[in-house]
A and B are shown apart, each in its own frame.
Chain A
Amino acid sequence: MRMLVGRNKTESKTSDFKNRFQSIAGFGSMLKPQVRRMVRRLLWCTGGVVLALNVGIIGLSASAMAQANSANNQTKVGAASVVPASSQETYLGNDLKTCALCHEKEVKSFLNDSPMAEQSDPNTPMGMEGSDRVCEVCHGPSREHAMYSGSGKRPPPPVVFGRNAPTSAKKQNEVCLTCHTDSNHIHWAGSPHQFAGLSCASCHTVHGKDLTLSKRTVAKVCFACHTDIRADAHKAYSHPILEGEVTCISCHNPHGGSGGPHQLRYLSINETCYSCHADKRGPFLYEHPPVEEKCTTCHNPHGTSFAFMLRRPVPFLCQQCHMAPWHISQVYGPNSLASGAAAPQLLGRGCLNCHSHIHGSNDPNGGRWLH
């Protein structure tokens, strides 16, 4: 029996989104009408420019693709370098030893520590078909850099990697993304890390041990910027992030995620949580709406000071949304703790002493999540 109870607001209230976004007038309701008009025009113009550009792009794509394919064939696997050169004379060629004269530490660590040094793997810079340029596969033609004999500052190679390197992050990343094209990197373009101007080398180390490859050290890389998460991870109740049992990349894909929020590996917060906590998925006979929406409504998965990683202590967390007569709206103060007659809503599991099936219930009597 599909019973109609009340009106279906999902159906009745979805229709105006398109108009809402297209007209976009409402976004700045706090602004004066003139300003709103101006902003609206600006956005329209920007959108128009982008649209026009891409219509043109698509129209021309067929011929351009052919050119691009040709270019790619020269610069990707099968060629000697992913960095184009103006002439072959600018390359040093097969000369790892020359590089090692000055960069011995980097060359040694690359060969000893980096998976990208595998000559037997046709996907690595060392193993790609026809590769005979070794360091220059990634750093570009470096004859001028290596053979410089002038008195001034030695010119750098065309591509230098690192967060503070002279080469722009965009150019660095283009080199890496020439080969790293698997599904993990599909959403890199436009991802928060890409838009923030980070380079691959901001997190990864090629010449040395890459901390992102070990579950015991990957969090250290993330914490360098996400300092608030590091503080959360040290709190009394957290996922075992510091222990390396659950790592940042167990849930997140820093290369752009799945396309969903927060660069998560799955398309939503709940789907990510369900990958380990599938018992919470349901669908239950009796749903608890905030559970269905976002686990993070009540939990902070990075850690909190309260049991079950709840954002705030019970019963006060529950009272942020529930204010019904009797015990639900009751004040629970510290005086009762001292008197030794505290309410059960305050001690132990608080409201969950009784409403324990709070993620949803499949019991026919479970409408209030008691059973």
Chain B
Amino acid sequence: MRQQVSVFKRMIVLAALMAVPVAFGQSAPSVTAGKQGKKVTNPMVAFSPAPQSQTSGAMATKSDPKDPSNTAEKKDENPVRGKVYVGMGHLNQNSYKFGEWTGITGSGWQPLLNLKVGQWPNWNSNNPNYWMVSGTDVTLPSRFLKAEVGSMGNYSLSVTERGIPHYEYENALTPYSLVDGNYLQLPAHFGGLDTSSDSAWEQSVNNHLNPNLHDVNLKTQRDITRVQYRVALGHDWSFIAQFRHDHKNGNLDFGSVLAQSGGNPHSALLPIPIDYNINQIRLQGNYHKNQLAMAFAYYGSFYMDDLHSYRWDSAYLTPSGWNPAAGYENGGMGQAATPPDNTFNQMLFTGSWGMPLAHTEVNWDAAYGEEKQSQALLPYTINPNLQVTQPLPVINPNMNVDVSQADFRLVSNPISRLQILASYRYHNHADKSPIYSFYTILADASNQSTTPFYNLPYSYIRRNAKLKLAYELPNRFRPYVGFQFKQYTRSDVEVGETQEDLYQAGFNWTPIGLLDMRLTLDYGKRHGTGYMNSYRYQLENYGIYNPAGDLNAQDPANYALWSNDPLLRIYTFANRTKKDGHFSINIVPTNAITVGLDAIYQYDNYQDSTLGLLSEKQQTYTVEMGYDPTARFGFDTYATYQRINENQAGIAINPGYNQALAFDFKNLWALSGREPVYTAGLDFDVKKINVGLPRPVDIKLNASYAYASDTLDMNTGSGSDVAPAAGTFPNITTHLAHVGITGNYQATDRMGLQLGVIQETYWSNNWHFTGVQPGTLGPDDSVIQLGLTSPNYSIWWITFGLQYRFGPMGGHRAISGYNEVP
């Protein structure tokens, strides 16, 4: 209901805006002719442009539009025109996955409406004023509505309203119900889950959890309203003001820990509520004269969460080993914070200058911004049985980050065939937030810690310098070489600085009219300063880094000073060799045929790492073909094979904090992943087919196929902890087959009948979810699940409708300045 009211309000806004041009006696707006989305779940299957013959404007009669005698097409009043599509669609079964992003999820009938109406000029009109209202998917949660008024070349004012639904999972199972907006409550008679033994767990799941489960659908809806005003201020200046308001609400699955005893968590996946707003403002002044262009801008982002926390009932009886002082015998409540309200204010200065000699141009960005948040902190606990001896060090934390960025690029053609590119980029993320001492209460069920834990800000500086040279040889063969240097400086992490040298080479070869061949090769080496294991962990826990803790981990006095295995190299810091390549060739043997081959190779090798990510490789090979022998017939098709490989390793350290175990390769495990992905598609157009009707029929067919299957092989050492784990995981597989056919029959010049049929089959299997019921995980490490399943469906989505055009025919084009995207 709330959503309907929201939509209603927005329709009123749009209607009000529509009234503006009417009140001012304006005439007419824009239009992009309806375009057919390739995919699948696009409900606008029936909204295709009219045949070319119906849109012929002045040139249909071959009149000379520049001939003053041709006055019939020149008018100062732009006529009202537009087109409306009204139809119905039918889905044969429920499926959240099919309608994940459109909202077409329920079986049954669904009304469809698209429209474009307004007043806008013909190409040869003298009246630059226009207004327009357009909408696609108007009756669906994925609606797009836009109202715009303006004068071409002078100003435009537009309001856009769009929805982005995300239907994640249907029929999830939970014992929790949402009350008071942010409280997830168990039924009053819920008896609690007993974690004292396997049999007790099983019994309590059967007696208390399963009988209290009910369905909950996990979905969110994002509604975006955008207002934009553009105006030309004289010949050289222009101004843009944008305001965007996002409102997102719904729910999503979120893990919530309550109690942790001896490392054994007691958690539940909860359907937590989402309700937040984002306001964004951009004010930009542009200047352009001769070869100088500049833009000065302010950008502001303001995030506001309507829910600053959420609470939930404990589903557990007191776990074994739990500190009795924590209470929660047969009950209790947990609380966690949601993301804090935040603001970001940024000033930007952007420009380019074309120098008059040697064909040299520079362009640049300079930006300074500040991220801030000072959300009031929650109390350490809402468990009344726990004593809080150390108060919070601060109520409002006053976190702030300065973000400074600059880019400078110089492009020069000192001689006509040579291009030199030099660029430099700087990005400083300086976290200036204060550091506090917190005496934490872990998961609302432990006594307050007696040693402080420090919140540690994180800062970094990125620098990137690049030099590239390209030279054009005869026959449009253009080789190039390049070099990039990247430096990354980070605060308070394992590696303070990494540097990367990247060498580049390649060529473009585009001999006239026959083929287009391209090759790029990159080779990079990254290395860093010394690796200080567990650096950040120690600072957070002890406020100081002690290398001895890393070296003498077996010493009980230091044994807690290290966290990660000393052999681990975090891959974002680790030494790396990078090899990338991309080769493509497009051959055009005749005007009607195009054949393309494309190969992409990306390989990152962390050659000095023993544990962690060791290597990742991705290869993508594509073959494409297009055939357009006549204006009435054509098709495009492609097939892609992609393969992703990754290797990583670890050592199981159990029981913990024993350095001897950290180097014990009997407990080594190595995981190799490989994922082949097959994707193929076909677009097939046939126009003006004579089927015995008074007028011909246009038919479009599109088909796509995608298959991905991820395989994980686990290999282990001989250690008793790890050896049983060896083997191959079931594949994580998805399979999508889609066929869509659209027929368009233009019954009269103004009226068209459209029929669309989509058949789509989706099948997936994911061991993260398969067979996992709400009570599956317990009793030692207990997590109440949501009973999610891998989606499968096979649907028919059939649409039919009528499209009617009114006003003058022709000119159903985009108007300058109007763009449906982004």
Contacts and interface: CB of A to CB of B under 8 A. Distances in A.
Contact of A334 (B102, B357, B570, B728): B728
A327 B263 CA distance: 8
B527 to A, nearest CB: 8
Q: How large is the interface on A (under 10, 10 to 19, 20 to 34, 35 or more residues)?
A: 35 or more
B335 to A, nearest CB: 8
6 contacts: A8-B491, A10-B489, A111-B59, A227-B640, A281-B371, A371-B337
A144 interface: no
A45 to B, nearest CB: 12
B460 A10 contact: yes
Contacts of B381: 365
B257 A370 contact: yes
A137 B812 CA distance: 23
A196 interface: yes
B598 A227 contact: yes
B612 A53 contact: no
Contact of B653 (A213, A227, A324, A359): A324
A337 B730 contact: yes
Given A120-B121, A287-B431, A364-B378, A215 B572 contact: no
Given A231-B677, A370-B442, A329 B125 contact: no
B153 A122 contact: yes
A186 B732 contact: no
A271 to B, nearest CB: 8
Nearest to B30: A115
Nearest to B240: A183
Contacts of B469: 46
A64 B291 CA distance: 12
B785 A347 contact: yes
Given A111-B123, A120-B152, A9 B496 contact: yes
A313 B712 contact: yes
Contact of B60 (A108, A119, A287): A108
B650 A356 contact: no
A344 B377 contact: no
Contacts of B434: 1-2
B427 A111 contact: no
A64 B812 CA distance: 45
Interface string A94-105: 111100100011
Given A9-B497, A349-B255, A286 B363 contact: no
Contacts of B431: 283, 287, 292
A211 B669 CA distance: 50
Contacts of B121: 118-120
Interface in A140-173: 163-166, 168-169
A332 B295 contact: no
B654 interface: yes
A60 B398 CA distance: 51
Sorted nearest first, the 5 A-B pairs with minimum C-beta distance are A325-B656, A333-B725, A9-B496, A240-B101, A356-B255
Nearest to B277: A278
B281 interface: no
A57 interface: yes
A29 B575 CA distance: 14
Nearest to A351: B255
Tell me which of A107, A168, A268, A365 has the highest count of chain B C-beta atoms within 10 A of its own C-beta: A365
A235 B706 contact: yes
Contact of A234 (B497, B543, B706): B706
B36 interface: yes
A166 B45 CA distance: 38
Chief secondary structure at chain A's binding surface: loop
Q: How large is the interface on B (under 10, 10 to 19, 20 to 34, 35 or more residues)?
A: 35 or more
A243 B492 CA distance: 42
A129 to B, nearest CB: 11
Nearest to A116: B816
Interface in A263-295: 267-268, 274-276, 278-287, 289-290, 292-293
A292 B429 CA distance: 9
A215 B814 contact: no
B356 A329 contact: no
Contact of B342 (A230, A278, A316, A322): A278
Interface string A207-222: 0011111111110100
Contacts of A224: 624
A238 B141 CA distance: 19
A10 B246 contact: no
Given A1-B435, A104-B62, A353-B269, A322 B564 contact: yes
A313 B732 contact: yes
A268 B39 contact: no
Given A321-B570, A322-B564, A220 B38 contact: yes
A323 B422 CA distance: 41
Contact of B255 (A113, A244, A324, A352): A352
Contact of A57 (B358, B363, B515): B358
Contacts of A367: 438, 440, 453, 455, 540
B288 to A, nearest CB: 5
Interface in B484-515: 485, 487, 489-493, 496-497, 499, 501, 508, 510, 512-515
A354 B443 CA distance: 10
B821 A215 contact: yes
A90 interface: no
A228 B642 CA distance: 7
Nearest to B292: A65
B286 A118 contact: no
A338 to B, nearest CB: 9
B303 A278 contact: yes
A183 to B, nearest CB: 4
B694 interface: no
A100 B56 CA distance: 13
B510 A164 contact: yes
A197 interface: yes
Contacts of B227: none
B654 A330 contact: yes
A14 to B, nearest CB: 5
